Amino acid sequence: MKADKIVFATGNADKMREIRMIMADLGLEIQSMKEAGVDADIVEDGKTFEENAVIKASAIAEELGKKGVKAVVLADDSGLEIDYLNREPGIYSARYMGENTSYAVKNASLIKRLEGVPDEKRTARFVCVIAAVFPDGRKFTTRAAIEGRIGYEERGQNGFGYDPIFYLPEYGLYSAELEPEEKNRISHRGKALEEMKKVLKQERL
Ligand code: IMP
């Protein structure tokens, strides 16, 4: 079934900019939920990034379906996995210590929990899953990660969330020290979106 456009289930302007850049050559209109005139109260009660991304995309797809709009809906779910903490905070990254707790406090807490832990045990990754729900109900997911280590202090002014404590040994820099274009090029979200673009092309969207 041919879709008329892509709708990305996010309210985040940075994510919209990134997806527009990456998906531009598909030649399809790309809208945010707001631009598509839909919203939904979504409870992310999945146990994996995949489940949560599909929950978000499906909820918006259902709303668009009610309006008779034939769109492919994309949604993302992402987070930070720290090996030493049994992959915490994982799918709870945004909710770690409470949704309204500042990242200065969350980051300080994670550094404290890793006190005395040597470099080789500080391994961590940002994970991103992109889900696609087609108008005929077919669902696909892609996953990508960027590997790094939890640093010993906060560094850098760019990025958001856990970027100031995420050290990238290959670059000798913290994630929050990368220029935005550079981060998009190597990030978990950028890579998962590129993978999803391949799926959309393959499915002759
Ligand atoms: P969501 O997928 O937008 O719900 O976000 C998940 C959470 O994971 C964010 O609120 C951040 O705490 C964290 N996170 C995901 N990606 C990144 C990143 O690129 N840098 C820093 N933190 C991130």
**78 Cα–ligand 1 center, Å:** 5
- Report which protein residue has its CA nearest ligand 1's atom 13: 79
pLDDT of residue 151: 98
Chunked mean pLDDT (size 10), the chain, 205 residues = 84 87 90 92 93 97 93 96 98 96 98 98 98 95 98 95 97 95 90 95 81
**162 Cα–ligand 1 center, Å:** 7
Q: Residue 164, exposed/middle/buried by CB under 10 A (0-12, 13-18, 19+)?
A: buried
Tokens in use for 142?
A: 């892609």
**Residue 202 dihedral angles phi and psi, to the nearest 5°:** -60, -40
Residue type, 202: Q
Instruction: Give the span between the Cα atoms of 62 and 135, in whole angstroms.
Output: 9
CA angle, 95 then 97 then 99, to 5°? 40
**77 Cα–ligand 1 center, Å:** 8
Global pTM reads 0.94
Residue 94 in contact with ligand 1 by CB distance below 6 A: yes
Which active-site residues does the annotation give?
A: 77
